[in-house]
Amino acid sequence: MPEELLHKRFASYVAKKGEEYMSSRQLAHFRTILETLKAELMNDIERTVHTMQDEATVFADPNDRASQETDIAIELRNRDRERKLIKKIEETIAHIESGDYGYCNGCGVEIGIKRLEARPTATLCIDCKTLEEVRERQVAK
């Protein structure tokens, strides 16, 4: 997943002593991360479309055709996940613009710089996310 690559490309944010949470520097840092991630996802989607158009071969052998269809289905599923992530990134950028970024949608506390660097699209603090996951497991049983 592209978010896994963030740690390799972007240096961790080091807050200055006494710096206010979600200062303009911090918001700019996260906006850069989100916009870079979005651009890479868009390039991947575009590359996939071109690749699929170039490889649109009709195989006479049913096994080859089935293999190709499976590959295409997997690729389309991946691109659909990326499309959803792009939408989430756009929503997160809107939160930055509205001044809501970095605060938990559940309880309103600070999500934290380290958590946001691990998952820039996070909308819940670690406590609320843990509770949500516990509830999901209970419902699934």
What is the pTM (predicted TM-score) of this model?
Answer: 0.80
Task: State the 10-residue block means of pLDDT for the chain, 141 residues long.
Answer: 57 87 95 94 85 71 84 88 95 95 96 94 96 92 70
| DSSP code per residue over 54-113 | HT----SSHHHHHHHHHHHHHHHHHHHHHHHHHHHHHHHHHHHHHT-TTB-TTT--B--H
CATH code, residues 2-102: 1.20.120.910
Per-residue model confidence (pLDDT) at position 88: 97
Per-residue model confidence (pLDDT) at position 87: 97
Per-residue model confidence (pLDDT) at position 2: 53
Name residue, tokens 């289905």: 73
Residue partners of 86: CB distance under 8 A and separation at least 6: 38, 41, 42
Per-residue model confidence (pLDDT) at position 1: 45
Distance CA 81, CA 79 (A): 5
Per-residue model confidence (pLDDT) at position 4: 54
**Hey, where are the domains in the chain?**
2-102
Name residue, tokens 């996940």: 81
